[in-house]
Structure 1
Amino acid sequence: MGSKIITRGGFTVSRQQADIIDHVAKEKVTVAAASAGSGKTYTSVAAVIHLIEKKQASIDQFILISFTNKAANSLREKIQEAINMKVTEAKSSHERLRWREQQERLAAAYIGTIHGFCRQILKLFGYMDLVSYEAKVTFAKRIRDEVFLEAILEHFRGGPAASLYGSRSQMADHELIKLMGSIYEHVRNMDLDFKTIREWTEQQEEDAGKAYRVSMAKLMEQAVEAYTGRKRWEQVLDSHDLLKKTSELLTQSENRGSIVKQIAKRYHYLFVDEFQDTDAVQEKIVEALLPSLTSVLVVGDQKQSIYGFRGTLDNLLLRMAKNHHQLLLPMNISRRPANQFREMVNTLFGHISRQSSYAFLGDSLEAYEGIAKGEGDPPPLVYLSAEYNQGIPKASEAIQKLLSGKYTLEYRLGKHAPIEQGDIVVLTRTNAIAEAYAEGLREAFAGLGIVVKADTGNTFYALPEIVSVIYILQLLLTYPKDDAALTLALDTPFLQTSTKEELNGEKLRQLQKRVGGSPLSEAFMDFSPELHEILVELQAMMRVATVPQILEHLYRKFGIREYYHGQSDEQAVKNLEYLRDVSRNLFTEDQALTLHTFVDFLRTSNLSGREEELVTPPDPSEEKGGKRMGPPYLRVMTIHSAKGLEFPIVILPEVQKPIIRFLKDQEPQFLIVNRDGQGKALPHGLEVKIKLQSDEGGTPLETVSPVFQEALYQDRDKVREDAMRVFYVAITRAEHSVILIGKKTKRPLTASDDRYSWQDEVLPAEEILKQEVGAKFDKA
């Protein structure tokens, strides 16, 4: 006898999902611990539709917060599809009219990031805290870098700081600006101020590096004060201001009670996804709104909390549940992996949780009914032994074997497909390792037709098709007076012309005759009148059209989609469309109101690797005949950048690298020390590494104190815990199989040993993995 079908809002749900939805309908606070692939978005959509169906809510009464704009757009589309289906399936004219009303009200719901929501609050109520309604939101990195450079020049121009550093400093201005930017963002995420940081630093014990730390603390205080004044003058806010000012408005302003009540009249329900990655400021915003709302749902997975470096809080889900006297509701029925891979995950992490101190990893994933068994798949776990510097050859060998046709992937019960390049991803700890593996694999696959692409952070803005857009937009801003811009644009698919050589020749001839002018542009008008007319038309359009409209006209007029279709580069077409989504999101949030500001945004993102991810690069996967298709190439990326994504097969190299090396791999240039090893207040202030030359014949000067290393190593248990969360995230990105590459040396090490690694968590489970799930371990 089959199990009883459970539905909520017309969606078939698991018992766990139904419990969460019912809890939201009855209780003020619901906290859900959702494991990888357990259907968080599906549950949120079902909850929204269920509450509307039961007449407890209208769609425009919801605030739905996602971690990225892409996730928010996906959530909106799914809700819209669900409401459209309700209209279609309505059994009476009254019911149909009710759901059509929900269609119209959908636009009034808030579905987006926390930054976008804060922008909305400040637009409505910011005047109460002297935030201008006309204030623009900007990524502000250009403004910040300009102000920081001015502060550097002022700080080191004569006076104590200049004599202190003298000719010792080895840091270029751009390196120092980047360091200052990182300190700025970290301190803001910690909800501290720079006056306090400077005062703490001045009170540190004397040592050879204290003067440098105090100098940097003073520089930061001066630079941030100037930056704050500049933002006020230009009436702009950055992303940190959005959160901080909103938090202050809701918790400290005289009108906070009135503001919260007005928000609660408009919105009744708040759903927050990825809550484990929330920082102190965001938590304050949620807690300020919570008492006046009908219900709040927060969803996350503490096992996947890997953004501690951004200032996220420890065990936030558990704390939220405890503070509001609620149980942490489980959601661990996973729809993602094939059954044999799910069983491997449970076996591996169950063993780790029993043998080590990582009990939080032991929660089992349960099977969702109808998931593929994984028959014909590669073994769910393969461990390959590799000596020092042999990881890339081992990875290359494994990839070629996967693509040989020996295995298939079962994407539905009884439905199989061959393994393709886009089904495989190599995940690494750091960008440097990712780049090394991408380059090594390209060399190994030379002539074999296997394409390798590295996705390390902000590479979306460095893609050739995106760079081409940057060049053509730069040309629009200056044409026909900038030959340098035209030279760059001529190398893009937008200005494909058979007269390029003649143009360059004409430029040289005219340069020989005269100085000044724009000879290349003048020649271009004569040799390519049709392209010239298109540029002039687009320039006229700039005065009245939005950036998304300009991009669409640009693509259409130059036939750019057709060009890339002709090159069989469908991914480039998707990336160009995604760029339009980027511009639309920025435009919606008032962050790129003109083509000038959008081009500035693109330049900054391309050149400086901005750290504020307002949007995420597109996941190129799509379904074809029921199988999720990947791109036509093999991907290499970091584990952090893969969070939230899923891949049929994951290759994870370097698992023999010591866990404690996370401290070395990602050892920061600075720390803000405000607690001791037991979590007690310790107002020590700034520790910062500054590149300085040594005295002649001496050792390099160390600008950090012993507290720097103490602070890093005091919390070793936290470092190991974070490292194991990263390992869990890496393993659970896979749907069918994971291949680990490391050494095959079983060592009787404990987790406290500095040499302990992921390998030392996996190898003790070798026999049980072989016996219970058919894992393969090669011989040493």
Structure 2
Amino acid sequence: MPNYESLLNERQLEAVTTHSQFVRIVAGAGSGKTRVLTYRISYLISDMKVDPSRILAIAFTNKVANEMKQRASKLVFDILGRMPILSISTFHSFCARFLREEHKAFSYPPGFTIFDEDDQKQLFGNVASELGYKKKDPFTKEASRYVNSQKTRGIYPENINISKESFKDEKKFVEFYLMYEQAKAACNALDFDDLLLYTIRILENRPDIRAKWAGRFDHILVDEFQDTNDVQFRLMRLLTKPDTSVYVVGDPDQTIYTWRGANQSLILNFDKTYPGAKTIILNENYRSTKKILAAANKLIAYNKKRVAKDLYTNGLDGEDIVTNCQPKSEDEAAWVAKRIYDIANQNKDANGEPNYRNIAILYRSSYMTRSFEMALKNRRIPYRIYGGLRFYERMEVKDMLAYFTLLVNPLDNIAFERVINVPSRGIGASSIDRIRQNSKANNLCEYEYLKQVTKGNLESALPSRVINAAKEFIGILEETKNDLRENVEIYSSTLRKMAERLGYFDYITEEEDPEEDRVSNVNALFDDITNYISDNPDSTFEEYLQNVALLSGQDDINDGNYVSLMTIHVAKGLEFD
């Protein structure tokens, strides 16, 4: 049994052991909020005798959710003597699980595809083409932005009625939105917003399902509550019943996602939404020095919408904050690179090598990296960019994931179009356009249309060389499907065999970029599948693919002797020296 008094400071202890039904923890930066959340879960089980399966904890990223689950599971294992069943995930991961379980309530099979931003962008382009626009036309960009804006607010096209346009092309945007939704549904796919909105729709329209899910949880805990948006809050409310305990942790001073719909008033007005709610402020910082906190407190005091607090530390005064203003971005980057070089060489690791592990360059937007990359390269300083091109977004990894998706969801036209000519089979853009148009005319997905053409069941004006190439492509995928049904336990080797038969390894070897080891990346993907199935024996391959689609910029971050480059948004909650 943990000795909470010895493990926590006074306010942390109060936050962990409170018996109030509604609790708002205002946790300043570096005040140990993740520690509080994990010990809160432990306390609920050890002292309040709550069944672990009746606790739902929501984190902001998969990385944080996994860290919380690992820490909490270890604490609870020490209490119960067995591994607990803990529901700790992001909102999106929770909804993906919900929709798999309740798929009959919205007419989708459990193996639906989750479209990431690239998939969504490709589908936007296809819809624009149908309307006579090009993918790079201003209309396409503006219409795509309109769709994302409406979905963030929880509005589908059928809910939009326009008697008079309030801005130019509004009716065209609604038509674009409707066509996007129809095309996505035809692919048996959901985008990120759909995960939340479909879950909400089911909970609101099916009282029996809402009662079942709200009845599963007695305690709901939400991390980073200041960045929760209205749709997520609506979902949270639907999962509660009158006696559900709601415990939120956040800090209005750290709100950085208003551009993505975050509603700061949710945490500011929590005590009005939940009368009698208890507020506990964590303001002892364990991360920064006194000089850093003094500057931060002075700056943040200008914020008008906040819960008043001053962070303090019992740690060192620390070094003075250094500022430097240069006339050009190249000069700024050169100055930063020299500082990094000097710091790393003054703090060498156990092998006598310059230590870059705890150094980061943070910036406002990704386009600002170029000058820093050049300056670091000039000094031969190793670095890695996060929040840019992640492992699962690399060309070769995306290609293989598209192939995998077709195995479980042949309706996914976006996956089909990505790989039908990769490696090159002589099936060019004009042939793909013809396949797209003819499949729609025959009310078939593109894969099934081409499959029927290769069998001779449908007439087609496609050149014979295209049909022959497609026949080999489809034959390999169909044989792989059969192999997987017969040998579920050897997924990785079966998929590797498919990649070899497709000539994919030869293709990426020929296309090899000197700075990219594409073959190793594909092999790492196969290892990732093996590890996932081993660690999650009750999960399916479809769930693996859905899980990959939900990963964020922080999920790739690991230890290594290099400088980390990332936006301030990606850096949220991370620590560097």
TM-score (norm: length of structure 1): 0.54
Do the aligned partners of 1:453 and 1:633 also contact (CA within 8 Å) in 2?
A: yes
Alignment correspondent of 1:752:
none
Alignment correspondent of 2:561:
632
Task: Provide structure 2 residue ranges, at least 5 long, that are not aligned to the other structure.
Answer: 408-414, 426-463, 467-476, 506-514
The change in CA–CA distance for 1:321 and 1:408 in structure 2 (over 3 A counts) is farther
Do the aligned partners of 2:291 and 2:320 also contact (CA within 8 Å) in 1?
A: yes
Secondary structure at the counterpart of residue 7 of structure 2:
strand
Letter in 2 for 1:439: M
Q: Does 1:426 align with 2:361?
A: yes
Q: Does 1:614 align with 2:567?
A: no
Alignment correspondent of 1:70:
63
**What is the deviation of 1:63?**
1.0
Alignment correspondent of 2:284:
333
Secondary structure at the counterpart of residue 384 of structure 2:
strand
Do the aligned partners of 1:72 and 1:113 also contact (CA within 8 Å) in 2?
A: yes
CA distance in 2, matches of 1:248, 1:317: 24
CA distance in 2, matches of 1:19, 1:469: 50
Alignment correspondent of 1:644:
573
CA distance in 2, matches of 1:464, 1:421: 28
Alignment correspondent of 1:593:
542
The change in CA–CA distance for 1:181 and 1:545 in structure 2 (over 3 A counts) is farther
Q: Does 1:199 align with 2:182?
A: no
Secondary structure at the counterpart of residue 349 of structure 1:
helix
CA distance in 2, matches of 1:261, 1:383: 56
Match of 1:242 among 195, 214, 222: 195
Alignment correspondent of 1:117:
94
Higher strand proportion (structure 1 or 2): 1
CA distance in 1, matches of 2:244, 2:289: 37
Q: Does 1:302 align with 2:252?
A: yes
CA distance in 1, matches of 2:235, 2:538: 19
Q: Does 1:395 align with 2:358?
A: no
Percent of paired sites with the same residue? 21
Q: Does 1:382 align with 2:322?
A: yes
Q: Does 1:155 align with 2:131?
A: yes
Letter in 1 for 2:115: A
Alignment correspondent of 1:451:
382
CA distance in 2, matches of 1:331, 1:638: 26
**What is the deviation of 1:189?**
0.9
Letter in 1 for 2:551: L
Secondary structure at the counterpart of residue 395 of structure 1:
helix
**What is the deviation of 1:452?**
3.0
CA distance in 1, matches of 2:20, 2:247: 10
The change in CA–CA distance for 1:484 and 1:197 in structure 2 (over 3 A counts) is closer
Alignment correspondent of 2:114:
139
Alignment correspondent of 1:485:
423
CA distance in 2, matches of 1:593, 1:174: 35
Do the aligned partners of 1:45 and 1:78 also contact (CA within 8 Å) in 2?
A: yes
Q: Deviations over 1:71-96 (max 9, x none)?
A: 2222221122113333xxxxxxxxxx
CA distance in 1, matches of 2:106, 2:538: 16
Do the aligned partners of 1:546 and 1:594 also contact (CA within 8 Å) in 2?
A: no
**What is the deviation of 1:462?**
5.1
The change in CA–CA distance for 1:48 and 1:306 in structure 2 (over 3 A counts) is same
CA distance in 2, matches of 1:279, 1:19: 28
Secondary structure at the counterpart of residue 329 of structure 1:
strand
CA distance in 1, matches of 2:403, 2:126: 31
Alignment correspondent of 2:298:
351
Alignment correspondent of 1:83:
76
What's the C-alpha RMSD, in Å, of the aligned pairs? 4.9
Q: Deviations over 1:195-247 (max 9, x none)?
A: 666627x344xxxxxxxx532x2233223323434455555433322212322
**What is the deviation of 1:149?**
4.5
CA distance in 2, matches of 1:450, 1:342: 27
CA distance in 1, matches of 2:533, 2:149: 29
CA distance in 2, matches of 1:543, 1:463: 28
CA distance in 2, matches of 1:309, 1:461: 25
Secondary structure at the counterpart of residue 387 of structure 1:
coil
CA distance in 1, matches of 2:405, 2:111: 23
The change in CA–CA distance for 1:539 and 1:331 in structure 2 (over 3 A counts) is same
Alignment correspondent of 2:42:
49
CA distance in 2, matches of 1:374, 1:221: 57
The change in CA–CA distance for 1:183 and 1:451 in structure 2 (over 3 A counts) is same
CA distance in 1, matches of 2:308, 2:523: 39
TM-score (norm: length of structure 2): 0.71
Letter in 1 for 2:177: V
Q: Does 1:320 align with 2:270?
A: yes
Alignment correspondent of 1:188:
151
Do the aligned partners of 2:62 and 2:551 also contact (CA within 8 Å) in 1?
A: yes
**What is the deviation of 1:249?**
3.4
Letter in 2 for 1:228: E
CA distance in 2, matches of 1:56, 1:318: 31
Do the aligned partners of 2:62 and 2:555 also contact (CA within 8 Å) in 1?
A: no
Do the aligned partners of 2:364 and 2:568 also contact (CA within 8 Å) in 1?
A: yes
CA distance in 1, matches of 2:184, 2:421: 34
**What is the deviation of 1:455?**
2.7
Letter in 2 for 1:268: D
Secondary structure at the counterpart of residue 388 of structure 2:
coil
Alignment correspondent of 1:265:
215
**What is the deviation of 1:450?**
1.7
Q: Deviations over 1:707-752 (max 9, x none)?
A: xxxxxxxxxxxxxxxxxxxxxxxxxxxxxxxxxxxxxxxxxxxxxx
Alignment correspondent of 1:670:
none
Letter in 2 for 1:237: L
Do the aligned partners of 2:226 and 2:255 also contact (CA within 8 Å) in 1?
A: yes
Task: Provide structure 1 residue ranges, at least 5 long, that are not aligned to the other structure.
Answer: 1-5, 87-98, 157-168, 205-212, 410-414, 488-514, 518-534, 561-566, 603-611, 622-629, 649-780
Alignment correspondent of 2:17:
22
Q: Deviations over 1:138-194 (max 9, x none)?
A: 2236875676455434434xxxxxxxxxxxx8x645875454333212211122344
